[in-house]
Amino acid sequence: MEYVLHIMILVAIYSILSMSLDVIIGYAGIPALGHAAFALLGAYTSSLLALNFNMTPWLGMFLGAIISSILGAIVAYPSVKLKGDYLSLATLGLGIVVYVIAKKWVSLTRGPMGLSGIPTLSLWGHKISEEWQYCILVWFIAIMIYLLLRMLMRRPFGRVLKSIREDDIAAMSLGKNVNMFKLKIFLVGAFFAGLAGSLYAHYITFIDPSSFSVMKSITILLMVVLGGMGTLKGSVLGAFLIVVIPELLRFVGLPLHVAAPLRQMIYGLTLTLLVIYRPHGIMGKCRWN
């Protein structure tokens, strides 16, 4: 039972991550790779604040998310000028830079040794130590974020984003400050990614840079693409499938040195085939972005 709850908690956290990426890629049509860097920043910020300054995790999470959005703004700056694959390359590059910094700046982040003993969240003085309590909490947060983002996307802001996705030059010609919108959506996406990263850190109580590697970015991307770009429900579905299905494979009992590469192979192949034959994923509406 604990195992199932653990999986559900991970699904919730990854749902937040994939929703936060979907608003950038699916709704605004900005092909941003390297999303895990935002989660990394949020996770490390709140963990370091909690470990070194005894800050309460809630405040740490919030600050972590803010710092992630600052990174989002930094990433957005070159992104608004670049097109298509150059943009992807630049965002991927920046994501790797963040990862390398996290790995190498050992005096701050303890590098590959990671941070351990991260305090868990507590609610009104009562530490959340049971799996089921955490599960309810993260799902509550995830649902709140879902509703928030859904509302945001239905407002004029969201509509402009979709118009930018379809044709950003047309949107500009209609007088919309496209660069400002792109910047804002990066802020939003990065904020929630940072939040998700912190949730992850305070749950697992241990993080190291490899939890947020390039592969992680690709995994989140796969969740978005599989579930359907441009639909929040799709992102949640994608997160669910990508987390759950490899766990099912675990019961097949393959040895680890076979299972790990096999899993990545499936991710890679799925991404490629999806993108070729069903780019709108399971629940998506748009064809190409």
Per CB under 8 A, which of residues 182..211 are in contact with another protein?
none
Nearer to another protein, 94 or 141 (CB): 94
Q: Which stretch binds another protein (CB under 8 A): 43-51, 101-109, 146-154, 193-201?
A: 101-109
Q: Considering the rule CB under 8 A, would residue 107 count as an interface residue with another protein?
A: no
C-beta of 111 vs 146, nearer to another protein: 111
Minimum separation from the CB atom of position 5 to another protein (A): 30
d(CA 144, CA 142): 5
What is the nearest approach in angstroms of another protein to the Cβ of residue 265?
Answer: 4
Residues touching another protein: how many (CB under 8 A)?
A: 45
One-letter-per-residue 3-state SS of the chain: CHHHHHHHHHHHHHHHHHHHHHHHHHHCCCCCCCCHHHHHHHHHHHHHHHHHHCCCHHHHHHHHHHHHHHHHHHHHHHHCCCCHHHHHHHHHHHHHHHHHHHHHCHHHHCHHHCEECCCCCEECCEECCCHHHHHHHHHHHHHHHHHHHHHHHHCHHHHHHHHHHHCHHHHHHCCCCHHHHHHHHHHHHHHHHHHHHHHHHHHHCEECHHHHCHHHHHHHHHHHHHHCCCCHHHHHHHHHHHHHHHHHHHCCCCCHHHHHHHHHHHHHHHHHHHHHHCCCCCCCCCCCC
Q: How far is the CB of 272 from another protein (least distance, A)?
A: 3
- Binds another protein (CB under 8 A): choice among 56, 63, 233, 279: 279
Identify which of residues 5 and 282 has a Cβ nearer to another protein in the complex: 282
Q: Which helix (H) or strand (E) holds 122?
A: strand 122-123
Work out whether 264 is an interface residue with another protein (CB under 8 A).
yes
Q: How far is the CB of 132 from another protein (least distance, A)?
A: 35
Q: Is 282 in the site for another protein (CB under 8 A)?
A: no
Q: Does 147 bind another protein (CB under 8 A)?
A: no
Binder to another protein among 1, 85, 252, 255 (CB under 8 A)?
A: 85
CB nearer another protein, residue 83 or residue 126: 83
Q: Is residue 114 close enough to count as binding another protein by CB under 8 A?
A: no
Q: How many CB atoms lie within 10 A of CB 78?
A: 14
Options 5-13, 41-49, 148-156, 214-222: segment touching another protein (CB under 8 A): 214-222
- Residue ranges in contact with another protein by CB under 8 A: 31, 77-78, 81-90, 93-94, 96-97, 100-101, 103-104, 215, 218, 221, 225, 257-258, 260-262, 264-265, 267-273, 275-277, 279, 288-289
